[in-house]
Structure 1
Amino acid sequence: MMVTNLCTSPSSTITLRADEWVNITTIPNKPGTKYWVSAYVNVTGGTISLSMYGDISASQHVSYQITAVNAGAMSMTYSVVSGSPTVTVTSMLICTFAEYQANKTLLDSIEYFDGDTMPRA
């Protein structure tokens, strides 16, 4: 099975804003579908909390499963835990959870990549 990256610009840099949903792709979600999201999150100047991941105070790779509840584009938001953080997201992979499970060994061995080398929707 092949993995299709649903992130339209996986190597672009997206700046998030506190308590405001920011689109990380333009492809609409299918409500009820489970997705796998993987990205590099760079946090400077404070600590944030991603509701689907937890607290982050440095640059790190994050991965999580999420079930779409609406047909809007995939987005991310954070809340400030401390400081005045600046948060950017790059190297994104968004695929269905079924594709992730079918290719879990390969995707987990890559750990983190720019996403640009994958077939995209």
Structure 2
Amino acid sequence: MSKEQPFFRVNNYEILGEILEEWARDHQTWPENWSEFIQVLEERGAGPVVPDGFGEPELAFHLLVDGKMNISLPTKTMLDAANIAVGLQKKRYIFPSQYDLAYTGSLDENITPPKRKKVQRARLADYCISLCM
């Protein structure tokens, strides 16, 4: 397991976004299990990165409802893992690769630990209140 990224991620968020858009439009295309999910991501070039010991979790698709505020909360285990990862990032705060699409030039790789925690909390808040568009 990577000490800097002990959670599931992909190397190409743009391709993952294409796949998710297809799934949102056609529920019949959803993968039925973890291995099928990983296979789709690999075949399409999303580059899934699965940490050692991650297992094969059951997939749970959640459809958002128009007109409702959808707040997605991480589990305590997910939150603890993210906080541990932030603490292990001694030299750099690792941003997901989609940030490269929005920003030119490099992000500050030497974010101090207190600021690193603030960035992590802001990303959590954005994730939790996001309405997926």
TM-score by length of 2: 0.27
Identify the structure with the greater helix proportion.
Answer: 2
Give 1 or 2 for the bigger CA radius of gyration: 2
TM-score of the two chains, using structure 1 as the length reference: 0.28
